[in-house]
Amino acid sequence: MAKRVPAVRIHHGDTVEDEYAWLADKSDPDTIAHLEAENAYTEAATSHLNGLRETLFNEIKARTKETDLSVPVRKGVYWHYSRTVEGQQYGIHCRRPALPDESAPPATDGGPLDGEQIMLDGNELAAGHEFFALGAFAVSPDARRLAFSTDFVGDEQFTLRIKDLTTGEMLADEIPKTAYGAAWSADGSTLFYLTVDEAWRPHRVWRHTVGTAHDADVLVFEEPDERFWVGVELTRSERFILIDVHSKLTSEVLAIPAADPTAEPFIIAERRQGVEYAVEHHGHRFLVLHNDGAEDFALAYTSADAPGDWVELVPHQPGVRLESVDAFADHLVLSLRQDGLTGLRVLPAAGGEPFDIGFPEPIYTVGLGSNPEYRTSSLRLGYTSLVTPDSVYDYDLPSRELLLRKRKAVLGGFDPVDYEQHREWAVADDGARVPISVVCRRGVPRDGSAPCVVYGYGSYEASMDPWFSIPRLSLLDRGVVFAVAHIRGGGELGRRWYDDGKLLAKKNTFTDFVACARHLASSGWTSPRRLVARGGSAGGLLMGAVANLAPDAFAGILAQVPFVDPLTTILDPSLPLTVTEWEEWGNPLDDAEAYAYIKSYSPYENISPQRYPAILAMSGLNDTRVIYTEPTKWIARLRAVAPGGDYLLKTEMGAGHGGPSGRYDAWREEAFMTAWTLDRFGLAKG
């Protein structure tokens, strides 16, 4: 491998040399050779864990009901559901005609329902491919056609196709290089879809007439401002196709009557910098959830016939973050969060007092499930907690009763009473109280001796609400505590919690996480030598930052597809996602203060000759969100600047941001990471 000359860049009078910039060329044989050598090194360094990895994989497999079926959901005259089959990697998407007066979902033992129609079998589509993912999946309102899109590489560019559900035939229509999402016209003759620009930004909406060549498709909308992403969807009422245009700070929504797909889209409200809003159609009005003078959002409405001024419906209430509104013929449902917990509030459309749906556990996550019917007297809900497996409820609106339809099976003698969950609060450097969710096996000692994994994310207002995990049981049953740090930059405590962890306040995310780690140790849950940190993507940035900031607080750091070279990435507007990210991180290209601030916390830029904890970085060669180069360069510089450390890199050579696509392959990857984690605790033989 030839000696490489470092790349040099100069911004705002600052000169930076990057000795590993050459790794950005994926077509260079030396780059592939480097990644393959790293994979071989990692495999050799972890070969003593092969038996444990197989044990962990088998534990996951043994606890999982491999042949299973989701709770059917009613749409028109069909029950829709998906199912899995033992030994098969991917789900099978199905429907079954509803019987006369069949109001409750049909019972099932996990196998096919009588009269089943297979709409799409992921295993058949994936045959012969190392990777497979679905992008769009949309059944036309008349139930005759299915639009779906596939990705066989992992780069999130999809080929869109149409299937005739009445004959089972695949139509000739085929549209390459599309983005997520698609929306049908009311009569199912026309399909709206998205394409991306060179930076992988969805920016165009197209109209396709079924049965015609895609080069005859009509451009309906194009967004030239590189800060904005575009989405498209059909409203639940099936009255309008909505085109959602949004940056990190600003929104605009356009509508097209679904019964008149060739009509020009009309704007519901002109974009105003800093004003975010989302739209739902409800009868004669558009509902508008917005933050205009309402930090935690308020709900208003405007005329569907002639959108104009917004009329207040639910006023802003500080501390109650309204996240979304779902419209049904006779009621509205607000998804919200308060005091760090998710919630659902029902608003009867004909008036009457709004009411919240209550749940008994102190820590949980609840949200609306699939509710495609506009006229309904029940709601499908999803519920989980750190100790309660994923549960599906139907909420009967007239009686206000919760009906448990299904709780995810956990085989092998699992009993939730064997585990306990807690809410802790750490105190950050500036006095902010940071919530931590903790789960462990009942009776784990609080004397600092227990090993612990602490997970964090802290970006994009994404909330890491409590969730149940079958693979996590392999940790808990070995005496490991699992904690989630709900740090600033996320949305757990409302919009202010997010704002205080972005742009020039981003370092709060990292110091919050360190405060949580210190709290877990000082309160007896664990000790620094028994604590492993884990995070992915923007949470991988967190991992790299805290490795530099407080290496003494951790025994190991597991970073999945980590965004550890943000300065290089955010300086390059030609890279995927960069320009759209400037409102999250700052624009270091034009703003000297933003440049200096990002450089001051960038993991790659701040590696120093100190003792680091053991580090495992996971990457995907075809990742378009966090380019494989970032973790690759990070590990290389760690070895050069801080030699003697235990640094490993594992790159999936045929996958993207989400890792392996098949469920068994994903379980094996999780077993690999869990085995490495247990090894940090000296539990590799357990």
**Enzyme catalytic residues:** 537, 623, 657
Give kind and range of the element (H or E) at residue 55: helix 50-63
Question: How far is Cα of residue 663 from the mean position of the Cα atoms in its chain?
Answer: 17
Query: How far is residue 82's CA from residue 218's CA, in Å, rounded to a whole number?
Result: 33
Query: Residue 553: phi, psi to the nearest 5?
Result: -85, -5
Using CA atoms, how far residue 435 sits from 77, 108, 463, 475, in Å, is 45, 40, 12, 22
Query: How far is residue 438's CA from residue 516's CA, in Å, rounded to a whole number?
Result: 11
Given a contact cutoff of 8 angstroms between Cβ atoms, the answer to whether 295 and 494 are in contact is yes
Tokens linked to 192: 């709206």
Query: Would you say the C-alpha torsion 291, 297, 302, 306 has a positive or negative sign?
Result: positive
Beta strand 452-455 pairing with 481-485: parallel
* Residue 359, SS3 per DSSP: coil
Exposure letters 472-504 (e unless 16+ CB within 10 A, then b): bbbbbeebbbbbbbbbbbbbbbbbebbebbbbe
Upper half-sphere CA count for residue 671 (Cβ side, 13 Å): 19
Beta strand 481-485 pairing with 433-441: antiparallel
Q: Single out the residue of 231, 236, 268, 264 nearest to residue 252, CA to CA.
A: 268
Query: How far is residue 175's CA from residue 325's CA, in Å, rounded to a whole number?
Result: 32
CB atoms within 10 A of CB 340: 18
Q: What is the DSSP letter of 241?
A: E
